[in-house]
A and B are shown apart, each in its own frame.
Chain A
Amino acid sequence: EVQLVESGGGLVQPGGSLRLSCAASEFIVSSNYMSWARQAPGKGLEWVSVIYTSGSAYYADSVKGRFTISRDNSKNTLYLQMNSLRAEDTAVYYCARTGSGYGERYMDVWGKGTTVTVSS
């Protein structure tokens, strides 16, 4: 079964760092565009970042310079390194397989999410 499983969430103090992981099953991460999105408690969805098969990456303005998306091909795993965390980064973080055609960045396979709480 095609599946994504996130891990690495938790409680972190403001200014701290966290690395989220997203392990894929039954498809190859490096052969697909992959994204992270998040959802703050009681709020809507927010796109965070995408990485292309080429390794090029794009970020939401709210995380640019603080978050880094990457992947480990040998582990078939996607990552999100989050630095300088703020209270407003508190959310459930989802990874998702993403379309690669022009104008087709729809997310067709989602993980169940991992919760990040930034608080002192």
Chain B
Amino acid sequence: DIQLTQSPSFLSASVGDRVTITCRASQGISSFLGWYQQKPGKAPKLLIYAASTVQSGVPSRFSGSGSGTEFTLTISSLQPEDFATYYCQQFNSYPLTFGGGTKVEIK
């Protein structure tokens, strides 16, 4: 199984900050990776797929990059509604796996 390791697992940031979250895969997965945002008590929301393609309707402050084993999700200017937990997921092979999550909290 492909393991995804997210870092950090927790980060504290202020509105307006640039935030970067990393996702490392245990083996190469090309660009077959996505990012989701989840708020407490809510379903996940797809932000990014194919490592860098922004899902329709997602604000342009969200971007993704990377290929192979290392990927990043960047929020260029953190907004109050962005405080949530973020997960990466690989689509390279079954079983599909998620990273452990990164919780973004208000500083």
Contact = CB atoms under 8 A, between A and B. Distances in A.
Contact of B32 (A58, A94, A103, A110): A103
Contacts of B46: 106-108
B68 interface: no
A80 B38 CA distance: 23
Nearest to B30: A103
B49 interface: yes
Interface band, chain B = 20 to 34
B34 A60 contact: no
Contacts, number: 64
B49 A99 contact: yes
Given A58-B94, A61-B95, A104-B49, A47 B89 contact: yes
B71 interface: no
Interface residues of A, number: 23
Contacts of B7: none
Contacts of A45: 36, 38, 44, 87, 89, 98, 101
Nearest to B50: A104
Interface string A93-115: 01000010001111110111100
B5 interface: no
B96 interface: yes
Q: Which of A60, A99, A107 has the largest count of B CB atoms less than 10 A from its CB?
A: A107
B91 interface: yes
Given A45-B87, A112-B43, A106 B95 contact: no
Given A60-B95, A61-B95, A44 B43 contact: no
B95 A104 contact: no
Given A104-B32, A110-B45, 10 more contacts: A44-B100, A45-B36, A45-B87, A46-B98, A47-B96, A59-B95, A105-B96, A107-B89, A111-B43, A113-B43
18 contacts: A37-B44, A44-B87, A45-B44, A45-B101, A47-B89, A50-B96, A58-B94, A99-B91, A103-B31, A103-B91, A103-B92, A104-B32, A105-B96, A106-B49, A106-B89, A107-B44, A107-B46, A112-B42
